Amino acid sequence: MHLEESYDYIIIGSGFGGSVSALRLAEKGYSVLVIEKGKKYRHEDFPKTNWNVRKWFWFPGMKLFGIQKLTFFRHITILSGVGVGGGSLVYANTLPRPKSAFFTHGSWAGLEEWESELAPFYDTAHRMLGAAVNPLLAASDFALQKLAQQANRADSFTPTTVGVFFGEPDVNVKDPYFGGKGPDRKGCIHCGACMTGCRQNAKNSLDKNYLHLAQELGVTVIPEHEVTGVIPLGDHGEAGYQVIFRQSTKYFSGKKRVIAKGIIFSGGVLGTVPLLLKLRRSTLPHLSPRTGDMIRSNNEALIVNTSLDKNPELHKGLAIGSILELDENSHLEPVRYGEGSGFWRITMLPMVSEPDFFKRILKLFLLLARSPVTWLRILFVRDYAKSSSVLLFMQHLDSTLKLKKGFFGTVSRIEKGKAPTPFIPEAHAVAQAYSKIIHARPQVIATETITGIPSTAHILGGACMGKNREEGVIDSNNKVFGYENIFVFDGSMISANPGVNPSLTITAISERGISKIPAKR
């Protein structure tokens, strides 16, 4: 791929913030280079099931270059996406708006009237991502609806708003969204395989909208490369920056260097924050001392419920087809994988609601000893995806971590309040109730049962907004304190717990932030 010696902007990462930035900057007349660590996947390249770990799992040390990454820290286990299109390749399409409390909490509170300020940008994000209401509920959704009725919350159960092209199932059509400027699409068949990559070409991932349109305007996207250095030209980058990067899919790769007038960090919390922490110690010493602070887990619980029924068909539908608002703080969604995608079964242990380690291990053994046949049936169920519904529980209630540079890499620390916990009483209670409805047993990832470390698919923060350099890494327009023409547009900019899937919010805030950058003269 041909690279110029210099660009107006270099974007590090191609997720929701990076893709928005690429298109909008190109529309303003800037030359743009996007550098993405992961591979470029066409819809037909995605794995048929998540047992194809070479295409599904990202672990470069083992030559696995898929779209799903799993990262372990002392206080949190994180699921994230990798590839051209970032998390949109592996996310569950769901595009809810947060409740009002989100806009008045955290380090960004009071910097703007955020709810009204962002409203038009949420509308733009909905349009660009092809948001539509799920037209077809399936077995796990009906189970959630029954749970809502049992909890006297029937009015709080709704189908999801999702970034999916429905159209006629399995029928190919010309671009239905952008007046023919986008790629051809095919109608959703509700197979449940959204999170292993949509082979149907129905999912509105970023390579089908923002990135596709950006490339049509001349944006260069270089996959399989990772930025390792950013050197300011001038003390505060007033003359631009030199960006150093290398190939991410080779053990040994020479360094490449490109000049940019501006830099946009869009690598997500796991890409942007470790890189900023590294650069603060070396070439960007004026970065805020709050870099890496205010990391939030969205107060999540991920609980797998595997049914003992003969043919529950819990895999049918969208990855997330419905939502239940449990109360003003809590939000519940049933998640599914497509037929045959049973990889997670080898990582699971029974859910045990006990914070104390010794009591928890004792309860685990007692649970297994009382019903060994039941647990063996669950372990060896014919099709784990067909028989399982994953409950995703989220809250906007706050507790924060920080990421720091340690001797062996990036490490987590507790910043404020209690450490995140997998033992959220409300989550475990609704999981038990839901399991009874589908005749199932609840399980969690083994690290939760053994170590008490929770898991999240929505890690946020680390480069949050603030009034000044002492209170945040970026200002209310996403500009980095201390340097000229550096911005952050990704999940690390989110400065409070949204309590819902954050992709739409990342897109909306990025749309607003980029709108503040003037057109090229």
Could you give phi then psi for residue 495, rounded to 5 degrees?
Answer: -110, 10
Other Cβ atoms less than 10 A from the Cβ of 218: the count is: 10
Q: Hey, is 467 helix, strand or coil?
A: coil
* CB contact at 8 A, 501 and 488: no
* CB contact at 8 A, 164 and 202: yes
Q: Hey, is 34 helix, strand or coil?
A: strand
Give residue 186's identity as a one-letter amino acid code. K
- Identify whether 428 is a catalytic site residue: no
* Positive/negative CA dihedral, 116, 214, 46, 50: negative
* CB contact at 8 A, 52 and 240: no
Residue ranges in 371-484 assigned as alpha helix (H): 372-379, 384-387, 425-438, 446-451
What is the DSSP secondary structure assignment for residue 454, as one 8-state letter? Answer: -
DSSP string, 60-111: GGGTEE-SEEEEE-SS-EEEEE-STTGGGGTS--B-PPPPGGGGGSSTTBTT
Catalytic residue from among 43, 75, 225, 458 = 458
> Which tokens is 380 given?
């060896």
Alpha-carbon separation of residue 190 from 46, 89, 197, 199, 233 (angstroms):
17, 17, 13, 12, 51
The residues annotated as belonging to the active site are 458
